[in-house]
């Protein structure tokens, strides 16, 4: 099985981010028609992707998926795929991490994606579409000093592993991608704490290209060593 992106309507959540932006650009190069979503819409507009629909949403809102589907349907009449490239990180010992930061991590990285998937799956089932979650290497290799972030990504990947099979019943392809450290600057804007010294990461363009290749090849799982 393969997916042809030419003419497909694909929503990228977190499209102004270090990974979301190159993913959006590659999808546009493949001929996809895009819905670009995040909280800061001025940064979505600055991507200057021709014909893209821009929608302001916060994945911490239960109804974000409804807004995404409405934007896709209003502009293009369908929705063929969603890439969830939204996420936040925090560093530091668990004992030093504020409760509100723990809550934010799980709202953005776990509950938000679950609420989003719940609401977009019916639209994707209608087009036999796809959904990609960008989890992280720490889902498989949790790290001290990143307990809550690791736990949030492990929870997302756990959900994805079960959902791959659940969604197959409605002909929706789910892909869980777990990139290693990537030079997007994410590590420099944590909700709290300070990043440990990390080895130089992969380029965002390389990670984006691997994720788009996974969409085209209908892959359901891209582990860190596959980047």
Ligand X SMILES: NC(=O)c1ccc[n+]([C@@H]2O[C@H](COP(=O)([O-])OP(=O)(O)OC[C@H]3O[C@@H](n4cnc5c(N)ncnc54)[C@H](OP(=O)(O)O)[C@@H]3O)[C@@H](O)[C@H]2O)c1
* Distance in angstroms (rounded) separating the CA atoms of residues 98 and 95: 8
User: If binding is defined by CB under 6 A, does position 20 make contact with ligand X?
Assistant: yes
Helix, strand or coil, per DSSP, at residue 214: helix
User: By C-alpha distance, which of 55, 44, 50 is closest to 15?
Assistant: 44
Task: Give the interface segment with ligand X, choosing from 18-26, 73-81, 115-123, 210-218 (CB under 6 A).
Answer: 18-26
Helical axes 112-127 vs 64-76, angle rounded to 10°: 30
Q: Is 100 a catalytic residue?
A: no
- Of 39, 73, 78, 161, the one binding ligand X by CB under 6 A: 39
The rounded distance, in Å, linking the Cα atoms of 7 and 15 is 19
Q: Which of 43, 82, 78 is nearest to 59 (CA)?
A: 82
Residue 172 binds ligand X, judged by CB under 6 A: no
Among 8, 88, 139, 174, interactor with ligand X by CB under 6 A: 88
When the beta carbons of 126 and 221 are compared against ligand X, the nearer one is 221
142 touches ligand X (CB under 6 A): no
Please, which residues bridge with residue 83 across strands?
12, 132
Q: Which residues bind ligand X (CB under 6 A)?
A: 14, 16-20, 38-40, 43, 57-60, 85-89, 108, 134, 136, 179, 181-182, 184-186, 189, 201
Point out the residues that are catalytic: 149
């Amino acid at each position: 099985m393969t997916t042809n992106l030419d003419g497909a309507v694909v929503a990228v959540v977190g499209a102004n981010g270090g990974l979301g932006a190159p993913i959006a650009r590659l999808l546009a190069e493949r001929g996809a028609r895009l819905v670009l979503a995040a909280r800061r819409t001025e940064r979505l507009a600055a991507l200057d992707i021709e014909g893209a629909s821009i929608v302001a949403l916060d994945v911490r809102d239960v109804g974000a998926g409804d807004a995404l589907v409405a934007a896709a349907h209003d502009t293009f009449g369908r929705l063929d795929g969603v890439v969830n490239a939204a996420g936040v990180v925090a560093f530091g010992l668990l004992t030093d991490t504020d409760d509100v930061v723990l809550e934010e991590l799980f709202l953005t990285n776990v509950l938000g994606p679950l609420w989003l998937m719940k609401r977009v799956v019916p639209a994707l089932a209608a087009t036999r579409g796809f959904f990609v979650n960008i989890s992280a290497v720490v889902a498989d290799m949790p790290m001290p000093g990143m307990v809550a972030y690791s736990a949030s990504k492990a929870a997302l990947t756990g959900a994805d592993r079960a959902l791959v099979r659940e969604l197959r019943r409605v002909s929706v392809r789910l892909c869980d991608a777990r990139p290693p450290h990537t030079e997007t600057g994410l590590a420099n804007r944590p909700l709290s704490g300070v990043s440990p010294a990390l080895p130089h990461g992969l380029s965002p363009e390389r990670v984006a290209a691997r994720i788009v290749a996974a969409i085209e090849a209908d892959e359901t799982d891209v582990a860190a060593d596959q980047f």
